[in-house]
Structure 1
Amino acid sequence: MPSDTTTIFLGGDVMTGRGVDQILRSPASPELHEEWVRDARDYVLLAENASGAIPRPADDGYVWGELADELGRIAPAARIVNLETSITARGEPWPGKPVCYRMSPSNVGCLTAARLDVCTLANNHVLDYGAVGLEDTLETLARAGIALAGAGTDELGAQRPARIPRAGGGDVVVLAIGCEDSGIPTEWAARAERGGVDLLPDLTSRSIAQLCDRVRAIDRAGDLVVVSIHWGGNWGDHVPSSHVELAHRVIDAGCDVVHGHSSHHPRAIEVHGGRPIFYGCGDLLNDYEGIRGHEAYRPDLALAYFAELDRASGALVSLVMQPLRIHKLRLERASHDDAEWLADRLDRVCERFGTRIVLRDDARLALRWS
């Protein structure tokens, strides 16, 4: 008999380009055009200087480390992340953009190894290598059997939600959008005659209303609807009132989960109308190991989110988070002390929204709300 609940896995930004790509079997060219770093392999060396030798070439599943065990244990109905890189060996870096990410299409096994169901693409790195890079990204994910949302070869394609069938009927539906305040260039917006991302033009009431109309248009018969949003800056805990309004209104329009990302560290979680809002899931995987400058936010720590939703109503039943640490460009379970640090910090930023974070006996975090 089907369960009365559905559990979905949500991850923040997954950045498998640059240094991560370089440790895999078939990396793209390491050439970079950044102000300080010209070779992507230097990011591997920074990580090794901080943590020790990293196997090269690493196998496809290496980077997922102990998260793979957690995913296997829980067996979520859908695995959803924001893929913040282009997948291409072609093209030129976007003119004037200070940081550009890409991973080789030959390394797509890195994504399939985690059995990802949906990669959202409405972010500020998917077109880092231009239209040809976007084309390669879309084709590579399609060949790999990974659904995508938030980018396409035209506006209709970019706006098309991903659908993941659930056992027992109904789909997990993922609609992905990006906001300019996350650093997405306005030129990246998809149009009828050009590919690009599903970019919300602004956060005015009119634009939010149009997005809400799209949410209402999604078939609701047995579906769970996730609206995935790339918004806001990389660092800091401030959640602007415009983000709160956007999140509340899409939930009132029928969304069951607001999956927010862009920040490099976890931000507050709210429950509105019985539905969770993640104002920033934080990076799940990156190549920042060994880079200094934001130690107060502990960018080496990450969270994997497991949201259990009522099958009939879509309301949140429970939220459990697995604390992780990026070590040697690989995800491992965080120590008890690190889990406690994450719980305390996230609890403080959640208090504004009437939610609390508790550290369980098994060193996982859980959300409490009234």
Structure 2
Amino acid sequence: MITLVLGGDVNLHGRAKSAFGQLEPLLKGADVRFVNLEGPLEAATAEALTSAGIDVVSCASDASHPAATLGVLDQAGIAHCGAGANLDAAHAPAVVERSGKKVAFLAYTSLRLPGQVAQPAAPGIAQAFATTAYQPDPRVAEIPGRSPLVRTAPVPEHLDRLIADVKRAKAANDHVVVSMHWGLPGAEIAEYQVTYGRAAIDAGADLVAGHGPQTIQAVEVHRGRPILYSLGNLLADRPDGLLAGCMLGDEPRLELIPVRRTADGESQALAGDDADKVLRYVADVSALRATKVTVQAGIASVAVGA
């Protein structure tokens, strides 16, 4: 069994190297630790990641200074995925080996600015973009002015590339984790998120970890494997997020612990009523996706592997 701890968005600008200090008991107990990195990274701020023992980061959510950030990560010994010197490098997995088992991490973004996307001979990020269309509400003939339905779908060639990436990574490694930077703030999950998430699981991913909306979203179990639609923030401008602990193997397990940024800019695990309030919300929105989340003593357990 391999134990993973996964966090959501992390922006280290202006943070102390002790930013994850209160989470160290949770982080250090895992075999592999993963977060999504937002914003450029410098050697000084990288100390916050190395002090916390972060093993792998996604760089797919920011490409403002890709070469410099990737260089700092390489120097710090932190594996990275989702960005690279060219298209193939951006789509290449970061592979971590523990106890004779290899875990491959792939990362993509559906949220990007022009010029950020990797090209065959130019640096950038790996994209999994979507199209947007507006469908008139079915009752608009009866009630003029009703808001249209928003329909989204993956860009076909991006979906095909993601599926091929996952299959290739699964063939060469024991486990595959897919990181997706996507979505809109709030509880509602866009159609394209569901399509990408389920396609990644169908292609062989053990887990899909989402982030980007700056809010917590539902968990869905698809074919016995979890899709975490948004872990929210681990260390960013908005306060709340989830820390996900996952065991990969014959008897997979998933647990969620709520975290919040303190007034000092550090991240801490919630407890008591504060924790239960966040986790009951997770249970409620996950139930809408036919997924049972059990909350007890500040920890949520998700039934996976069935």
| Same fold by TM-score greater than 0.5 | yes
Other-structure match for 1:211:
162
Given candidates 185, 190, 195, the residue that maps to 2:113 is: 185
Which amino acid letter does the alignment assign opposite residue 269 of structure 1? V
Other-structure match for 1:38:
none
Which amino acid letter does the alignment assign opposite residue 69 of structure 2? T
Residues 118-175 of structure 1 show CA distances to partners (whole Å, capped at 9, x for unaligned) of 110111x331xxxxx22110110000000000001111211111000021x2311001
Which amino acid letter does the alignment assign opposite residue 198 of structure 2? H
1:191 aligned counterpart, secondary structure: coil
Other-structure match for 1:329:
265
Q: Distance in 2 between matches of 1:191 and 1:207?
A: 13
Which amino acid letter does the alignment assign opposite residue 260 of structure 2? R
Q: Does 1:81 align with 2:35?
A: yes
Given candidates 209, 230, 247, the residue that maps to 2:197 is: 247
Q: Distance in 2 between matches of 1:164 and 1:340?
A: 33
Q: Does 1:309 align with 2:248?
A: yes
RMSD: 1.8
Other-structure match for 2:58:
120
Q: Distance in 2 between matches of 1:206 and 1:358?
A: 38
Q: Distance in 1 between matches of 2:66 and 2:155?
A: 28
Given candidates 42, 45, 56, the residue that maps to 1:107 is: 45
Which amino acid letter does the alignment assign opposite residue 60 of structure 2? A
Other-structure match for 1:138:
70
Q: Does 1:269 align with 2:223?
A: no
Other-structure match for 1:237:
187
1:108 aligned counterpart, secondary structure: helix
* TM score, norm. by length of structure 1: 0.72
1:353 aligned counterpart, secondary structure: coil
Q: Distance in 1 between matches of 2:239 and 2:70?
A: 29
Which amino acid letter does the alignment assign opposite residue 72 of structure 2? T
My pick for the range that moved more, 193-202 or 153-162, is 193-202
Given candidates 151, 167, 178, the residue that maps to 1:227 is: 178
Counting only pairs closer than 5 Å after superposition, residues 341-356 of structure 1 correspond to structure 2 as: 341-356=277-292
Greater per-residue strand proportion: 2
Which amino acid letter does the alignment assign opposite residue 355 of structure 1? T
Which amino acid letter does the alignment assign opposite residue 230 of structure 2? G
- Indicate if the aligned counterparts of 2:216 and 2:231 stay in contact, CA closer than 8 A: yes
Kindly tell me: are residues 194 and 206 of structure 1, through their superposed partners in 2, closer, same or farther at Cα, counting changes over 3 Å? closer
Other-structure match for 1:293:
none
Which amino acid letter does the alignment assign opposite residue 202 of structure 2? D
Q: Distance in 2 between matches of 1:157 and 1:273?
A: 30
1:67 aligned counterpart, secondary structure: helix
Q: Distance in 1 between matches of 2:170 and 2:51?
A: 31
- Indicate if the aligned counterparts of 2:260 and 2:270 stay in contact, CA closer than 8 A: yes
- Indicate if the aligned counterparts of 1:170 and 1:221 stay in contact, CA closer than 8 A: no
Given candidates 10, 15, 20, the residue that maps to 1:14 is: 10
Measure how far apart 1:323 and its partner are.
Answer: 2.1
Q: Distance in 2 between matches of 1:154 and 1:121?
A: 14
Measure how far apart 1:365 and its partner are.
Answer: 1.9
- Indicate if the aligned counterparts of 1:177 and 1:197 stay in contact, CA closer than 8 A: yes
Unaligned runs of 5+ in 2: 131-153
- Indicate if the aligned counterparts of 2:260 and 2:268 stay in contact, CA closer than 8 A: yes
Which amino acid letter does the alignment assign opposite residue 239 of structure 1? I
Q: Distance in 2 between matches of 1:187 and 1:344?
A: 40
Kindly tell me: are residues 191 and 222 of structure 1, through their superposed partners in 2, closer, same or farther at Cα, counting changes over 3 Å? closer
Measure how far apart 1:268 and its partner are.
Answer: 0.4
Kindly tell me: are residues 301 and 210 of structure 1, through their superposed partners in 2, closer, same or farther at Cα, counting changes over 3 Å? closer
Residues 77-97 of structure 1 show CA distances to partners (whole Å, capped at 9, x for unaligned) of 21111001112xxxxxxxxxx
Q: Distance in 1 between matches of 2:231 and 2:258?
A: 12
Equivalent residues, number: 281
Matched residues, percent identical?
Answer: 30
Measure how far apart 1:222 and its partner are.
Answer: 5.3
Residues 13-37 of structure 1 show CA distances to partners (whole Å, capped at 9, x for unaligned) of 01111x42xxx4xxxxxxxxxxxxx
Which amino acid letter does the alignment assign opposite residue 265 of structure 1? T
Q: Does 1:150 align with 2:82?
A: yes
